[in-house]
Chains A and B, each alone.
Chain A
């Protein structure tokens, strides 16, 4: 009896998932890490998309059709992501926004491509993803090589001679570190004095910092994420190690200042796509206002905002191509969408689906812990 009851319960749960809502709606999927180590990113991606969808629906929808966001959890893990994408592909979505990690996205690319669903990744910066000639793959985040180029340029412009590069062995951080290294090695007067990885998640980086200090760098380029960056800044100040730090866009998070403390975070440079608050466009300002009104804080993660941009370009494409067919949308995004006013600057795509144009800006943390856009 108990077994039958459990079986019945399981069947009920299965069937609730597959009930389709009739009527004129456009379904756009969101695949993000709602659980797991990157859960905060996924949650915020969902908040952003919910807000944007709500606004569109209030304004009458896309060509009269309501938008529905269907979120699936990929748990930041390739195997779960493959399942999440299979599930989304059976739920009649036109396009999918996401996801965050590059290897997670890679596990889903073929599945979306075979099901002819548009995928707009928001945080997957690995170069290889768009080199496969997939017609339905796009991304709103720039690639690692682009960021590496900007990093090398910035270091050159600031006239540092001895450069230390520190990564954390994750796909993203190591990729970026390698790209930057390859470019900096070519420069005659720049020397790489240190290239190594830290173990993310530790509490004490004093040994590493002492070793780093011993290599006498003029500048340290850290390509990892904000929790480690914050700790490094705090502990380097305690050590009396004065070389400035430059971070990649994964250090762009308000918690960086909370972890490091205002004094230690001062004069930390990082590269990032511009934050919505620094963009003059009406879309960006109204988005930030709407987000603050709904959730009580401004968006923390740049990747969540990039997911919002992914959503907005898909909506724009459906609106102007007057079609919900993948081929029409992809064609529109590839060829017709130029300088679309996004939340993170203007957006256009090249034939590979990569975002084109200069996206990265240099930010500096000021004495009060604010992120100031550098001219």
Chain B
């Protein structure tokens, strides 16, 4: 009975949400697009930070690899953007595998510092026009728009459906992941690494897989960003961007899908809501963050403890 009500509540919210663009102007729809992008990024980091408990502060690096892969392949070789989504994901995943393998055994704060180094190195490499293909500090301009059966997605209203469709796919997959053997293994090694290893979980391998999966997803999001902005430059992928994604996961409740989505709404949406305070808007934003962290220090919606019902 109760689950039925919850399902109807979800369905009504989703339908209302999908009708949003009809009532909102370009600006607010675009804010929602940004929220969507960061929700996907947050969910992809959630695999690494939330499920596996690995402090990765360099998530913007994977996002950047995806965006740049798409930008270069699209502008130089004219590959359609939508086809590039998985390709860019693979590039980011390979990058993550190569970079994360030697650092995977580091714990907590040490890993955090190494990943900060990684995102900075990548940003500086992009500025220095690596291999002469990244456009240096000017970035890359003229990235194509996605096209579905001859229909070109251009306006914020149209991007809204593309981005939120991707959010829905992400939520579906990660929800399945949470309840899989893989997801449970990650949770186990987050809670107690020694016990996990003792139970036969190859911790290094699972941690690496978490990194690869998170990077794959972030890389795909990079493509959406690149095609939406139709221009990318290294400053879009700086250290601050990693902090924002990190904040979304921690604030919303690490390990909880609904929490991360709510986190994206707050971290990306609030500064826009506070726009009328002009110069003081970041002050309000910071104060709001502090208050939330004091009162909900596990995140706004922490993951529920898992229940396993035994058949009588």
Contact = CB atoms under 8 A, between A and B. Distances in A.
A87 B27 contact: yes
Contacts of B138: 102-103, 126, 128, 171, 175
Contacts of A90: 25-27
Contacts of B26: 86, 89-90
B141 interface: yes
A51 interface: no
A174 B136 contact: yes
B278 interface: yes
Interface residues of B, number: 33
Given A106-B139, A128-B141, A174-B136, A13 B235 contact: no
Given A78-B233, A78-B236, A103-B235, A35 B282 contact: yes
B219 to A, nearest CB: 18
A35 B281 contact: yes
B278 A82 contact: no
Interface string A90-130: 10000000000011001100100000000000000010100
Contacts of A73: 275, 278-279, 281
Contacts of B272: 83
A89 B25 CA distance: 10
A78 B137 CA distance: 13
A238 to B, nearest CB: 28
A79 B236 contact: yes
A72 interface: yes
A94 B7 CA distance: 47
Contacts of B229: 78-79, 82, 107
Interface string A142-159: 000000000000000000
A79 B31 CA distance: 10
B281 A106 contact: no
A72 B236 contact: no
Interface in B175-215: none
B128 A169 contact: yes
Contacts of A34: 278-279
B170 interface: no
A71 interface: yes
A79 B278 contact: no
B112 interface: no
B273 A13 contact: yes
B298 interface: no
B42 interface: no
Nearest to A103: B233
Given A103-B233, A171-B137, A87 B128 contact: no
Nearest to A169: B127
Interface in B264-281: 271-276, 278-279, 281
A39 B279 CA distance: 9
Contacts of B34: 79, 83
Interface residues of A, number: 35
A77 B282 CA distance: 14
Interface in B234-288: 235-236, 271-276, 278-279, 281-282
A83 B279 contact: no
A110 B25 contact: no
A86 B27 contact: yes
A21 interface: no
B156 interface: yes
Interface in B1-50: 25-28, 30-31, 34
B30 A78 contact: no
B161 interface: no
Contacts of B271: 80
Q: Please report whether the interface of chain A is mostly helix, strand, loop or mixed according to DSSP.
A: helix
Contacts of A169: 124, 127-128, 137
A86 B231 CA distance: 16
A13 B274 contact: yes
B75 interface: no
Nearest to B272: A83
Nearest to B238: A77
Contacts of A17: 275-276
A10 B31 CA distance: 14
A252 to B, nearest CB: 21
A297 interface: no
Given A35-B281, A103-B233, A87 B137 contact: no
A235 interface: no
A162 interface: no
Contacts of B281: 35, 73
Interface in A158-210: 169-171, 174-175
B135 to A, nearest CB: 10
A16 interface: yes
B139 A43 contact: no
Contacts of A87: 27, 275
Contact of A86 (B30, B124, B128, B276): B30
A14 interface: yes
B273 A14 contact: yes
B10 to A, nearest CB: 17
B127, B232, B233 pick with most chain A CB within 10 angstroms: B233
Nearest to A39: B279
A126 B135 CA distance: 13
Contact of B279 (A10, A35, A170, A174): A35
Contact of B27 (A13, A83, A106, A107): A83
Contacts of A89: 26-27
18 contacts: A14-B28, A35-B279, A73-B275, A77-B235, A78-B233, A79-B229, A79-B236, A82-B229, A86-B30, A86-B156, A87-B275, A102-B138, A103-B235, A106-B141, A106-B233, A171-B138, A174-B127, A174-B136
Interface of B: 25-28, 30-31, 34, 124, 127-128, 136-139, 141, 156, 229-233, 235-236, 271-276, 278-279, 281-282
Given A13-B274, A83-B30, A175-B137, 18 more contacts: A14-B273, A17-B275, A17-B276, A34-B279, A73-B281, A77-B235, A77-B236, A78-B231, A78-B233, A79-B34, A79-B236, A82-B30, A82-B229, A86-B26, A87-B27, A89-B26, A106-B141, A106-B231
In order of increasing CB-CB distance, the 5 nearest A-B pairs are A103-B233, A171-B137, A87-B27, A86-B27, A90-B25
